[in-house]
Structure 1
Amino acid sequence: MRKHILRVLALLIVIAIAAFAWLAWPDKAREDIAAVSGARPDITQPREQVIPTVKTAKPIGWAQGQTPTAAAGLRVAAFATGLDHPRWLYRLPNGDVLVAETNSPPREGGGITGWVMRVMMGRVGAGVPSANRITLLRDSDGDGVAELKTPFMTGLNSPFGMALLDGQLYIANTDALVRVPYTAGATKITAKPELVVKLPGGGNHWARNVIPAEDGRTLYVSVGSASNIAENGLAAERNRAAILQVWPKDKTYRVFAAGLRNPNGMALVPGTNRLWTVVNERDMLGSDLVPDYLTAVELGDHFGWPWYYWGGYVDNRVEPKNPQLQQYSKRPDYALGPHVAALGLTFAADAKLGDRFARGAFIGEHGSWNRSPLSGYKVVFVPFNEAGWPVPGAKPVDVLTGFVNDDGKAHGRPVGVITDRAGGLLVADDVGNAIWRVSAGR
């Protein structure tokens, strides 16, 4: 009897180990990433995971003289180096560039998800403390290199987005939108920031972006979800996974659009002033799902998160269900591929990078942590037509690559993208601690 019990226990242990190995085994992509890109991506069957695929590019930085690789007809050089985790960029009217040197606040939360997130953050070099600083870069002689690098504002709380409106500089901290008076040409601000509105903080997605709205009176503020699929309850997602519209004079806001798991980059398309955003979609449905996307956003839109993705595909993991929402879930306009971590967004309004990059969107893809093989880790361009929409049938065009070497290690990871006053493209690299400048020429 005792031997029989031991055999049964041994068999159960083998089954448990095999089941754990099956659940934990990295899911590998079966689709070419191009097939999951564009206006009509392949949306395949989900492959649900209890433990996510964790595949990251170990950060190693750039050796002296190394740079990313620019597309044919373009060249790249360092605009500024020696920064501390630069994530986001903003160009002031006089051409000065503000850089948010920032990172996530200390992460909390237990369970498998919390553990995975902490491990992943350490592996990709994102676990360093936040500098909580905005730095000013100035290229006085126009040679494409910043001669002045000086602290502009300090003592912030994981700052990210920055925007000027009516003589005030607005900064999106992780938990609040604040503002300070701005004087043209200033190289330092010491004024105490004034609270405009509080924002929900904590959770998985900490970065808050802000841009002026097309009406010239309000601001758009993006707030990512606290979780993957609201697994901590919907109450924790109040006013999150959304773009908010803020009235700064009244210090009030409303939800402008919802169901956007992690909208980050936002921009108004030239000519129409229509709001666009890039969004990081959900994890743990396999390496082929769900594509991150670029989309136009209108008042009242709902893009389905957490219940639905890509215009109505059901995520069966989410409870409670919400069947009434399915028919109203808006389909995004353009897929960028699964897990590319699209963060940066700017339009080519004043870019001078040749006809190929004259009309469209530049997107900074921070790179995957849970896909095999890796995706993202580059800057891409989505061509637009004269009407202000992605060109039918067009796929993303590589602009800046080479952030990951042949051994799968990361020299850097691109985030924010903007144009400078001379028409070059500036790219924040938070692992390489540099700002790269892409210009026309070889």
Structure 2
Amino acid sequence: MILFRDTNGDGKYDLRTIFLGKLNQPYGILVLGDWFYVANTDGLWRYPYKTGQTEITAKGTKILDLPAGGYNNHWTRNLIAGKDGKKILISVGSGSNVAEHGLNNEIRRANILEINPDGSGERIYASGLRNPVGTDWEPKTGKLFTVVNERDKLGDGLVPDYLTGVQEGGFYGWPYAYFGQHEDPSVKQKNPEMVKKTLVPDLALGSHTASLGLAFYTGNKFPQQYRGGAFIAQHGSWNSSKLVGYKVLYAPFANGKPTGELQDFLTGFVADLEKGEVYGRPVDVAVLKDGSILVSDDSANKIWRVSAK
């Protein structure tokens, strides 16, 4: 079963069962026009598609190669259509923690890429994003937001994952700096000019939380306090002496920006904090047309539905 963005422009999701052939670590999926897109870790494929199809028999075409392999499962390739439907944005994480294998290993990585729907015209939409995964358009301003997994091995308190509005052409620090112009002392390749160019993210989400999924709530069924803000799925991280993450957060917004608050929305995934045991690990969040939300959980192998009475 797979989940994909509807094409009617309401920013919500439909659930469909689609059967495809053998894929290579697929993550991002998108319906745009008469095409069904699947982002494997090593390339973007598209298949002819008509609304309502439950099986795709036509042969897919690989329209774009993507860099694959690398550090600690930075394999996800998320997809989102441009606001006007004329472009596709692809999130590509870094191939290392802090470019310890050299910058040649990071070509086209730690970026959000932009392409035409046929795979042509690639350009970097924003860079210095160590591992951007969830992306969504803020409903009032139409600005792109993303959640980013930051670097490891600097201790439990550093570096915070973050939610941020994405400035087109902006640079967000990786690998030279983190959370603004804080130079990373562990990075071998120094670049003071790029440190100076680093933009400050909008909202810290806690260090090593592995914040992955992002969805703005565009429904009207939840209480008013949950409308217009962002749900964020935190998968939880290995690089911490204690369990952090393992929940879904809600970040309220006002005037198109996060207010700075964070609220626990869906918890209970931690079974035993002392033993480090968990029941599940949230990955992605999506809003359904009925106003409920879905949360995928790749540890329990479930999709959870949360609705309001």
Give the structure-2-normalised TM-score. Answer: 0.93
1:51-70 aligned at under 5 Å gives the runs none
Deviation of 1:317 (Å): 1.5
Match of 2:58 among 174, 183, 191: 191
| Aligned Cα root-mean-square deviation (Å) | 1.6
SS in 1 for 2:55: coil
Contact 1:260 1:279 in 2 (8 A): yes
CA distance in 1, matches of 2:83, 2:237: 32
1:172-251 equivalent positions in 2, closer than 5 A: 172-204=39-71, 205-249=74-118, 251=120
Q: Cα distance 1:162–1:370, how it changes in 2: closer, same or farther (>3 A)? A: same
Change (3 A) 1:351 1:375: farther
1: CA distance, partners of 2:160 / 2:205: 6
Letter of the aligned partner of 2:183 in structure 1? V
For residues 250 and 348 of structure 1, the distance between their equivalents in structure 2, rounded to whole angstroms, comes to 30
Whole-angstrom distance in 2 between the partners of 1:383 and 1:261: 24
Which whole-Å CA distance do the structure 2 matches of 1:186 and 1:356 have between them? 36
- Rounded to whole Å, the distance in 2 between the matches of 1:432 and 1:261 is 27
- CA deviations 1:349-379 (Å, max 9, x no partner) are 1252111111200000001211122110000
> CA-to-partner distance for each residue in 1:330-350, whole Å, 9 max, x for gaps?
110110000000000000012
Return the offset for 1:246.
Answer: 0.7
Does residue 162 (structure 1) correspond to residue 29 (structure 2)? The answer is yes
Q: How many residues align?
A: 301
How far apart, CA to CA, are the structure 1 residues paired with 2:220 and 2:196?
A: 39
What is the CA-CA distance between 1:93 and the residue it aligns to? 5.4
Taking the aligned partners of 1:377 and 1:398, their CA distance within structure 2 comes to 11
Query: Residue type of the partner of 2:147?
Result: V
The offset of 1:315, in angstroms, is 0.8
Shift of 1:164: 1.4
Matching of residues 252-267 of structure 1 within 5 Å: 252-267=121-136
1:210 and 1:96 mapped to 2: Cα distance? 16
Which stretch shifts more, 246-255 or 163-172? 246-255
In structure 1, stretches of 5+ residues that fail to align are 1-82, 99-135, 137-150
Which whole-Å CA distance do the structure 1 matches of 2:256 and 2:36 have between them?
Answer: 29
Q: In the superposition, relative to structure 1, how do residues 362 and 177 fare at CA in structure 2: closer, same or farther (>3 Å)?
A: same
- 2:51 corresponds to which letter in structure 1? A
Provide the TM-score with structure 1 as the length reference. 0.66
Deviation at 1:275, TM superposition (A): 0.5
Deviation at 1:271, TM superposition (A): 2.0
Q: Distance in 1 between matches of 2:220 and 2:235?
A: 22
Aligned residue type for 2:47: V
State the alpha-carbon separation in 1 of the partners of residues 292 and 119 from structure 2: 37
Please give the residue correspondences for 1:263-274 in structure 2 after superposition, counting only pairs within 5 Å.
263-274=132-143
Do 1:312 and 1:331's aligned partners in 2 also have CA atoms closer than 8 Å?
A: yes
Counterpart residue number, 1:404: 270
* Alpha-carbon distance between aligned partners in 2 of 1:277 and 1:197, rounded to the nearest angstrom: 22
1:440 and 2:308 are equivalent in the alignment:
yes
Q: 1:348 aligns with which of 200, 217, 228?
A: 217
Cα deviations by residue, 1:24-60 (Å, 9 ceiling, x for unpaired): xxxxxxxxxxxxxxxxxxxxxxxxxxxxxxxxxxxxx
Q: Between Structure 1 and Structure 2, whose CA radius of gyration is higher?
A: 1
Alignment of 1:355-366 (within 5 A): 355-366=224-235
Whether the 8 Å CA contact 1:340–1:367 is kept in 2: the answer is: yes
How far residue 408 of structure 1 moved from its aligned partner, in angstroms, is 3.1
1:316 maps to 185
Q: Is the 8 A contact 1:380 1:399 kept in 2?
A: yes
Q: Of Structure 1 and Structure 2, which has the larger fraction of its residues in helix?
A: 1
Give the 5 Å matches for 1:66-105.
89-92=3-6, 96-98=14-16
Deviation at 1:212, TM superposition (A): 0.3
Structure 2 Cα separation of the partners of residues 181 and 273 of structure 1: 28
What SS class does the counterpart of residue 91 from structure 2 fall into? strand
Q: Decide whether the 8 Å contact of 2:139 with 2:228 is kept in 1.
A: no
Taking only the aligned residue pairs, the percentage that are identical comes to 49
Q: Are the aligned partners of 2:94 and 2:106 in contact in 1 as well (CA < 8 Å)?
A: yes
**What letter corresponds to residue 422 of structure 1 in structure 2?**
D
Larger relative contact order (CA 8 Å, sep ≥ 6): 1
Q: Which residue in the other structure is 2:167 paired with?
A: 298
Gaps of 5+ in 2: none
Query: Match of 1:440, SS?
Result: coil
CA contact under 8 A between 1:219 and 1:245: conserved in structure 2?
yes
